[in-house]
Structures are given as C-alpha cells and as structure tokens.
Amino acid sequence: MVLSHGFWQRHFAADTGVAGRKLLLDNEPYTVVGVMRKDFAFPPGNEIQIWTPLAFDPNDSHGRSRRSRTLSVLARLGPGTSLESAREEMAAISERLASQFPDTNQGWSAAVGSVREQLVATARPALLLLFATVAFLLLIVCANVASLMLARLTTRRREIALRAALGASRRALVRQVLAESLLLSGSGAALALGVAYLGVRVARNLPIASVPRLDEIRLDAGVLGFTAVVSVVVALAFGLAPALYASRPRLRESLNEAGRSGSFGTRRILGFIVAFEVAVALVLLVGAGLTIRSFQQLMRVDPGFRPDSVLVAQIYLTPTRYRDNQSRRRFFMDALARVRSLAGVQTAAAVSSLPMHPVGIEFALPFSIEGQSPPASGEEPRADIRAATDGYFETLKIPLLKGRVLSEQDREDAPHVLLINETLARRYFAEEDPVGKTIVNPHGKGEVVGVVANVHHYGLDVDPRPELYVPFSQNVFSAMAIVVRTTSDPEIFAADLRRAIGEIDSDQPIYDTSTLDQAIARWILLPRLSMTLLAAFAGAALLLAVVGIYGVIAFSVSQRTTEMGLRMALGAGGRDLSVLVVRNSMSFVAFGMALGLGGAIVFARFLSGLLFRVSPFDPWVYVSVGLVLVLAALIASFLPARRATRVDPMEALRVE
C-alpha cells in the first residue's frame, strides 16, 4: 500500500522508517511501500488515505464480462503526441474491438479527454463567473473614484491654478494628484487584503468537493503582487485623466472664476460616468436575478424522497471475515433488527447506494424484458441496479405508484422479484402495465411487482435514470448503507447506531454517518454559494451605483447654485427645479440602461450553462431589475433635487 501524507502524519507521526511496516486492511496484511507528497490528491475532491494495487479477481464474473465498463484509464501522452491524435487512435482501436466482439463492443467507443480539463470542468464556470463579477464590481468602484476625484479637483481649480501661477509645472501638479490617488488605492488594497484573508479562511473550510485544491488557497506572493499591480494600474488609469484635466493651462479663467458654476464639460463627463456605472450595475443585477431564479427552480425540484429526520451509515464488510452471502445477509439483518429496536427509531432499512452520495455500489447494466423483441447489439436498455431491504421505501417515503414494495416475504428462497422506477416504466413499457412482467438483468431475472416514483440520485439538476430495485436477500451485496428515520434530531442517534453495529462485530468500521439533509446541502452548496456571491456583488454594485448617482447629482447641484438662484429669481418654482435636476440625471441613467441591456444579454448567454430551467432572457428578471434600478436612480436623484429647491436666490446671486 501507499499512504497519503495526512494518514502518514496522523497514524505514524511522520516516521521516515514507515516503509516495510505491515498493516491489516480488510483483515488482510499489506506492506507499506511509500508515502505520497502533501499536495498529492487523486482522485481530486476525495479524502483518499490509502492506495492499493488494482488486482483482477478471476472469480469475479462481473469483472470478467466484456460488458463491464467500470474503470477509467489514465495515460501520459508521449512526446509530440497530441490529444487529437490520441482520440483518433483510440477510435481506431474501438472499431477493431467492435468488429472482433460485435456482441459486446458494437456501438461503444472511448472518450478521450484531458485530465486537467476534467478536474476543473465543474468548478471553472463558477470561478469564471466569480472573476467576471469581481471585475465588474471593480469597474464600478473605479468609476466612482474617478468621478469623485474629478469633482474634487474641479472644486480645487483655483488652488491648482494658483500653484501654477506661482511656478509649479504641470508635471508637478499631476504628480501631486497621482500621489493622492495612489495613497487612496493603496489604502483600499491594504483593507482588501485583510478582508481577503478572512474570506480565504472561510473558503478553505467549505465542504465543496467539486472545487479542486480548495484547501490550498492562500494569500501568497502572487496574490500580493497582483493586488499591488491592480492598485497601481487603477490609481494611474482613474487618477491620471482627472489630473490632466484639472491641470490644463487655463490660469486666467480659473483665477477669475466667480461663483461656483461648474463647467458644462465637467458635468457631461460625470454624467457619462454615471451612465457607465448604471450599465455595469444592470449587467450584474440581471446575472444575479437569473441565478436566483435558477436556484429557486432547483429547490422546487422534488427529490423523490423525504430527507428530513433520516440518518445514514455506510458499511463495507471485509471480504476475509464475510466470505459468503449467508454471513453478509446475516450481518445486515442483525444490524437492522438492533437498530429498529432503538428508542426513537421509526423505521430502518438498508440500500446498496444512497441518493446524492458520492460513494456506493450502483451499476448501469443492460437488461431485457421477456416478451419484447431484443434490441440491436450495443443498443440494449440499461438501468442502475440497487439492492434494498424491506422498509427502504417506507423509510425514505418514496411514493409507490403501482403494485407493492419489497417486503419480508421476498426471501432468498422465494420467487425473485424487483421494482422499477417511473422513468423505466415510461420509457420501456409505454402504455403497457409493467406489473407482472419479467425483466432479465445480470443479477438474474425477476418479476416486476411494483413501480415507484423517480428519485434524483445524482443531484436535483440531473434527470432520473432508469432504475431497478432488487431485494437484498435475493441479491446480497457486501457494501450497504443503513438508513434510519427517527422521531427527533437524527444526529443524536449516531452514537447509538455505532454501538449497535459494534455489538455485532466490534472490528467492523462504519465509513460515514450523516443525515440526508446534510447530503443534499453538500450537493447544492456550489450553486447556492455562486448565487449568494453573485447576489451580494450585485447588491454592492447597485449600492455603489446609487452612491455614484447621488454624488454626481449632488455635486452638479452644488456647482449650479448660481444658476438655480437665477432661475428662482426669474420665477421658477421648487417643483420646476426638481424636475430639471431629475430629468437631467435620468437621461444619463436611461442611456446607461440601454448600454447595459446589451451587456446583460451577452452576460446572460455566458450564464446559460449554469442556469436550471430558466431562460437567459427571462422577461420577469429583466423587467424587475429595470424597475429596481430606475427606482434606485430616482431616489438618488430626488434627494439632491430637493436640496436645490431650498436655495435662497439672494444668497445664490451674491458674488463670492
């Protein structure tokens, strides 16, 4: 055996002389031949502790069958060999096998792909989405900073002009403004690193097996360097333009400036910045709305069972101690009898593979239906086969649609029976009643005695596959999961369940104990996290856009005090001034929304692969987001407009 680095440290205290030590695994002696590096994890996302040689059992009929396709093959390409050439060669090999063994290989080929692509296939879309969202948010922040700096420098035009008149060069003036910009950007970066440190600690503890190497995320030199570069670039990109604009050689105009009426050009630039912020906020809000709708649709999916108050425990019997079906059957029957007698247990049963669990025994094996014409070679119908004890469907509350469920009468010496799920019945029996029909599968033949509802074994977003349920007593497995429905919190029964198993065999380990609610929570954690982060970033974008709109409009009103006073002196009322300010601001908001609509459509197309039962062009989302953004913009515009109505004409017209 080869040990993982963590197992070596925990159980051997990092003993460098561990090679050659003997361990019992499944009551068989194994010799330690090596220890893997700390950063090695294969398969990724699984806490593998020990690797042993893959040995083929000549007595295993399933392993000897050419219909058995349960292994994944890894190969390192030779120098100069491309992935495409490997695909072509494997396709040729598959064709030769199909011609040599038409009964088992006709219609089958090999799927050749990159290991790296396979490792990141699940996490890449979510991470790219997160990266794009953060980039959009950064753009809004930069736009806010640029507008605030431009507004601030506009109010300092006299100061800058006076410095220039006293001999300061334009380079010196720009350098002063850039220094302030760098100071602000650097302070923000330092604060962000502190927040990121806390975020990394939280992320490393998230139970997301589909994100590879999540536990290795850290703030290293690369992250610090990236943050520093981004800070400098942001400071230069969004501080240089306002600095150059404010330092233009317009000394006479600036020094002789009377009043506070800002230039029309400055207000127009700030207006376009507002439009840009609104456009980016609209993109993020549409993305968040679509993701939230998608998650709502996902949570509305009926899993096919009731996960509440259910405790599960995975048990794998050692082949050296339990060599035959009789001993395995006796162990699980005794275990169920003891568990059912525990106080607080409603029902208990066992199954070979649990819903939404990454481990278990389940075979997508071919089957045939007696009385139906046999399909062409390579086109045999296939179904996942699960062994279950009596009481399994009652424990998980899986609805019975027709016939009966498995019961105690389905013993090893009774006629063989089986159940099918709704998908198999609909696909292969059409309008015909499946109850009473005989299905032949690799475990034998059995009469269909009932049809049960579909169960989403592979996730709420994956359509149920055809399934056969066979009685455990007639099809004994060495690996089973015990499921227990309790009258109260199922987690408090974990110790009692372990004690009951230990009373039968104190050396028999339990692989895992958890609740079905926890299993579903782990399964939907990644889409839930993506939805939460995107919604949080979209909310932040909306807040920043509102702040930007308010700041720009407030600055514009303050710069137009003289104009407002003159209008009021000529007879304009407060309502007229409010309408004027709101109309000016909403014109830029409307331009930003029109611009953002195009970006939102492009972003929605990118999101389409992550959405579940939601169109990327869902009108409900677009209309809702538009209304929210317009309402927020109106509120942000109304407050400065209201302030404009309180201007005293005499004070406004008085020369400063």
Q: Is 322 a residue whose pLDDT tops 60?
A: yes
pLDDT by residue (tens digit) across 213-271? Answer: 677 788 888 888 888 888 888 778 766 766 666 566 555 555 455 444 445 566 777 88
Instruction: Give the angle subtended at the CA of 373 by the CAs of 367 and 375, to the nearest 5°.
Output: 55
Residue 167 tokens, joined: 């001999």
Euclidean distance between CA atoms 561 and 42, whole angstroms: 68
Q: What is the pLDDT of residues 343-398, one digit of tens each?
A: 999 999 999 989 987 655 456 788 889 888 877 655 678 899 999 999 999 999 99
Residue type, 39: D
pLDDT tens readout for residues 410-445? 999 999 999 999 999 999 998 889 999 999 988 889
Highest mean pLDDT, choosing among 150-159, 193-202, 328-337: 328-337
pLDDT for 8 equals 95
3-state DSSP call for residue 419?
strand
Instruction: Return the bridge partners of 3, or none.
Output: 35, 50
- Torsion over CA: 27, 32, 38, 39 (sign): negative
Q: Would the pLDDT of 599 be above 80? A: yes
DSSP character string of 9-45:
HHHHTT-TT-TT-EEEETTEEEE--EE--TT--SSTT
Paired with 480 in beta bridges are 315
User: pLDDT tens, 440-483?
Assistant: 988 889 999 999 999 999 888 889 999 999 999 999 988 899 99
Per residue in 495-518, pLDDT tens?
999 999 999 998 888 878 889 998
